[in-house]
Amino acid sequence: MLQKTNFFVYPNLTPKDSLFVIQNAVAKQSVLLIVGNCRVDYEGRASSKLDWGERLVMIKSDRSILIHRSTGYEPVNWQPPGCIIQTELVSGIDLKIRAIRSQPRETLEILFDELSLVTILNLVDKGAFSLYVSEEDIKKSIMLRPSLIEENFRCIIDEKMQPTGFIDIFGVDEEGNPVIIEIKRGTVRKEAVIQLRGYVEPLSKTNPKIRGIIAAPKLGKGIKPLLDSMNLEYKRINVKKCAEILKRSEGSKISDFFTKPKS
């Protein structure tokens, strides 16, 4: 057993000896890595079985669990944060880890018959994470500079004035016509057009002059005719310009752009 300030490595533990180590690590909210020969059963929204083989199991501070094989970005099995974790010795020789989630009800069972390597990590991490440009960022920059949509476009902030809750931006054009804007951070596909139509259509019955505009950096192939057929519009958005606009105004709400890990 090697000990350093922030990690512990346990090669070739017996399942029996691993029990205390693992329970302790979970209780202390360490990050736990278990490498060994295992079998995995999942039951919930779907069901799955994974036959015996060597995998890397990660149990994180928030009790999220990821089971990784040697390939694939995505874990072969997993449990999102917050599940209940139980450990148990089976037949005196195997380690069973059970992780249960209640909503939706899902159970994950990992049975190890051999543990090559158990590692406990206490990660010190206060680093800020910032990401742009999200759809929310585009929205903010349009709010800050409505001319990104068109001259004399005005956003209506008051939520009481908004027709429904899912509209990205509601505003008024220079003629006073109501405008619904659907923002996409990537290429506009058919789905986005249908989504916008879903917002516009019910309102156009009471006000036929209502306009629907998709604001996005790129239009997919064949989308322009579709928009035309539904009498909807497209406004190209330069995401770099959005980043500029936000950067210039960041003094006020810099906290919006940074998040820290919860633990």
Which partner in a second copy, Mg ion, DNA, none is near 126 (CB below 5 to 8 A by kind)?
A: a second copy
Q: Is 123 in the site for a second copy (CB under 8 A)?
A: yes
Binding residue (CB under 8 A) for a second copy from 177, 198, 244, 256 = 198
Q: Which is nearer to Mg ion, 109 or 168 (CB)?
A: 168
- By CB under 8 A, the count of residues binding a second copy is 65
Contacts of DNA in 81-100 (CB under 7 A): 81
What are the distances in angstroms from CA 87 to CA 26, 63, 82, 195, 262? Answer: 10, 13, 16, 46, 25
Residue 31 CB, shortest distance to a second copy, in Å, is 6
Residue 134 CB, shortest distance to DNA, in Å, is 3
Q: How far apart are CA 243 and CA 94, in angstroms?
A: 54
Strands 187-188 and 218-219, by their bridges, are: parallel
Distance between terminal CA atoms of the chain? 26
Which partner in DNA, Mg ion, a second copy, none is near 33 (CB below 5 to 8 A by kind)?
A: a second copy
Contacts of a second copy in 159-188 (CB under 8 A): 185-186
Q: Which is nearer to a second copy, 54 or 228 (CB)?
A: 54
Distance of CA 30 to the CA centre of its chain: 22
Cβ pair 151, 66 in contact under 8 A: no
Structure tokens given for 41: 């059963």
Q: Is 234 in the site for a second copy (CB under 8 A)?
A: no
| CA-based radius of gyration for the chain | 26
Binding residue (CB under 7 A) for DNA from 125, 221, 229, 255 = 221
Which partner in a second copy, Mg ion, DNA, none is near 9 (CB below 5 to 8 A by kind)?
A: a second copy
Q: Is 51 in the site for DNA (CB under 7 A)?
A: no
Cβ-based neighbour number of residue 146 at 10 Å: 20
Which partner in Mg ion, DNA, a second copy, none is near 23 (CB below 5 to 8 A by kind)?
A: none
Q: Which is nearer to a second copy, 82 or 157 (CB)?
A: 82
Q: How far apart are CA 158 and CA 155, in angstroms?
A: 9
What are the distances in angstroms from CA 228 to CA 50, 110, 148, 171, 191? Answer: 50, 54, 21, 21, 15
Q: Which is nearer to a second copy, 27 or 124 (CB)?
A: 124
Q: How far apart are CA 166 and CA 141, in angstroms?
A: 18
Q: How far apart are CA 149 and CA 193, in angstroms?
A: 17
Contacts of DNA in 124-163 (CB under 7 A): 131, 134-136
- Site residues (vs DNA, CB under 7 A): 42, 44-46, 48, 64, 72-74, 76-81, 101-103, 106, 108, 131, 134-136, 165-166, 168, 182-187, 189-191, 195, 198, 220-222
